[in-house]
Amino acid sequence: MTASLDPAFLLDDFYCFGENRDEFEALLRAIDGQTVHIRESSLTDFRLAYLEDGGGECCPEGYLFEPGQPFQKKTDGSGETLCLPLRQQIRDASWPDCRGGAGLFAEALKGNRTLLLERKNGALLFVSDFAFTTLAQRLGMTAGPLQEATLERNLFLARKMAKVRECTLVIRQVEKEGIKLHKIFAFLGGKYREMKLFGLCELYGELSEHFAGRLNLGPMECRFWEICHERVSIHFEFPDYGNELCRREGWSRPLMPCLEFVTSDIGESSFHVRTYWRTEEGSIVPGREYSRRHRGDSLKALDQMEEEILTMVQGEFTLFPKRLKELKLVRITPVDFEPGSKRLRQKNARCVSRAFWHILKSIGAAKAIGKKREMALKEYLDSGQIQDDKIYTAYDIVMEVFRLPEMLNAYLGRQEGSMVPMSTETIRKFRRESIAKAAYADFSQI
């Protein structure tokens, strides 16, 4: 029996992580069980609420707007005018004594202040911040103008929502002590086919058998997983194959072949399978990637997808080690090098430095991290990182480049001044757009 999630699950900042594969799969089953997809021919069956400060903790006050015409007509001696509807208590018709939504109301008041009230049965649907991107798509606009939570914005939304046709609401729900809570996390297109998050588990379960059998990668072990409303991801590694590669190729610095599976059921992400390599220090080297939009695929299409993933994984886990083997044959240190000669050690250091900068320029490091950080990177490399008494090959250079995102950030953290360490997103960009290319740089041009 799948355990149910408590009301905190509906908050936008819901986040879980772990290392146990069974726990990951159980949590996805629970989320699937508390997620429904409601197809609406239009949004006129709902009224749009805007919350104002004040009122009770569980039932604050605000305005309810009709789709298409949020203003009410008022007639007096001077004629007919349009005005805001009366401010009123916002509540779900089924809640006893206004109990039930305190945590979600508090979040809404600090955030987007937006809810939908179902006209037919009075059910109140909270709206996640994540839903505004897909709502903007249904309205035929960008999400930027919808980010600011104002009364004017909701008046605009109420006017526009009457024009929405064929919309699929992705709703997560919780029931506790007889109180039902609902929250919209996406406004997807009318042709969207329901996707279960647990389908990801079924896919990697089938693939793991092929990885071990057809590709001879050995068992696939879970490294860690993360779950939030936007997306779910799980990381695996192949320790047997990694150890075999290290022994067979004579790697002085072991690399572990890894896979990441990513998906989303609220339109925030396509389905991704990413290969990558992890160094002993924990640095990440991105590899090939497979992506596919969610389309409600047929069994035949799913079989084809599995074959495409297998081909991608086999290519990365075969060609990358082959490339590193080639790099070990490319000598960077001058052939006349003698470690006892100061002049030749200096010459060696210049050659190695030139090789570093050739790679960094060819992989576009400055574009990924900016010119100032590129200069800081040069300072870092010149601060004794190059061992002038060591014989370097292209393999040694590349392995050092793989560590640069973490090493540079640690260096920046030790420096005084305006240069701040890179953000997580900048590090991710540096890896994806630059570091991933390092092994395939052309060393013949040095």
Query: Would you state the pLDDT for residue 395?
Result: 97
Q: Kindly provide the residue ranges of all beta strands, DSSP E only, lying in 293-360, ordered along the sequence.
A: none
Q: Which residues pair with 393 in a beta bridge?
A: 331
Q: Check if the beta carbon of residue 41 is closer than 8 Å to that of residue 60.
A: no
189, 207, 232 - which closes a domain: 189
Q: Check if the beta carbon of residue 431 is closer than 8 Å to that of residue 405.
A: yes
Q: Read off the pTM.
A: 0.91
- Domain residues for the domain of 204 are 198-327
Over the range 83-120, which residues count as b (16 or more CB within 10 Å of their CB) and which as e?
eeeeeeebbbeebeebbbbeebbebbbeebbbbbbbee
Q: Check if the beta carbon of residue 4 is closer than 8 Å to that of residue 30.
A: yes
Say whether both 347 and 323 belong to one domain.
no
Instruction: Give me the numbers of helices (H) and strands (E) for the chain, helices first please.
Output: 13, 16
Q: pLDDT tens, position by position, for the chain (446 residues)? A: 467 899 999 999 999 999 999 999 999 999 999 999 999 999 999 999 999 988 766 678 999 999 999 998 887 767 778 899 999 999 888 887 666 677 899 999 999 999 999 999 999 999 999 999 999 999 999 999 999 999 999 999 999 999 998 999 999 999 988 889 999 999 999 888 788 999 999 999 999 999 999 999 999 999 999 999 999 999 999 999 999 999 999 999 999 999 999 999 998 778 999 999 999 999 999 999 999 876 555 556 778 899 999 999 999 999 999 999 999 999 999 999 999 999 999 999 999 999 999 999 999 999 999 999 999 999 999 888 999 999 999 999 999 999 999 999 999 998 877 788 999 999 999 999 999 999 999 998 88
Query: Would you state the pLDDT for residue 1?
Result: 44
Say whether both 232 and 371 belong to one domain.
no
- Two structure tokens written together for 290: 């497979």
Say whether both 366 and 317 belong to one domain.
no
Query: Would you state the pLDDT for residue 297?
Result: 55
Structural domain contains residue 314: yes
**Which three-class secondary structure string do you get for 259-296?**
EEEEECCCCCCCEEEEEEEEECCCCEEEEEEEEECCCC
Phi-psi region of 5 (alpha: psi -120 to 50; beta: other; left: phi over 0): beta
Query: Would you state the pLDDT for residue 293?
Result: 78
Structural domain contains residue 335: no
Structural domain contains residue 23: no
327, 359, 374 - which closes a domain: 327
Structural domain contains residue 49: yes
Say whether both 100 and 130 belong to one domain.
yes
Structural domain contains residue 22: no
Give the tens place of pLDDT for each residue, 417-443: 778 899 999 999 999 999 999 999 999
Query: Would you state the pLDDT for residue 427?
Result: 95
Structural domain contains residue 158: yes
Say whether both 179 and 202 belong to one domain.
no
Torsion angles phi and psi, residue 320, rounded to 5: -65, -50
Say whether both 302 and 358 belong to one domain.
no
152, 170, 189 - which closes a domain: 189
Of 411, 315, 308, the closest CA to residue 369 belongs to 411
Structural domain contains residue 27: no
Q: Check if the beta carbon of residue 365 is closer than 8 Å to that of residue 383.
A: no
Which residue pairs, CB below 8 angstroms and at least 24 apart, start in 42-45?
Answer: 42/162, 42/164, 42/165, 42/167, 43/67, 43/116, 43/161, 43/162, 43/164, 43/167, 44/68, 44/161, 44/162, 45/118, 45/119, 45/120
Query: Would you state the pLDDT for residue 382?
Result: 87
Say whether both 82 and 176 belong to one domain.
yes
Say whether both 183 and 202 belong to one domain.
no
Considering Cα of 246, then 249, then 253, then 256, what sign does the dihedral take?
Answer: negative
Say whether both 178 and 223 belong to one domain.
no
Say whether both 203 and 184 belong to one domain.
no
Structural domain contains residue 431: yes
Q: Residue 67 carries which DSSP code?
A: S
Query: Would you state the pLDDT for residue 93?
Result: 86
Query: Would you state the pLDDT for residue 238?
Result: 98
Say whether both 85 and 218 belong to one domain.
no
Cα–Cα distance for residue pair 378/369, rounded to 1 Å: 13
Say whether both 318 and 370 belong to one domain.
no
Number of domains composing the chain: 3
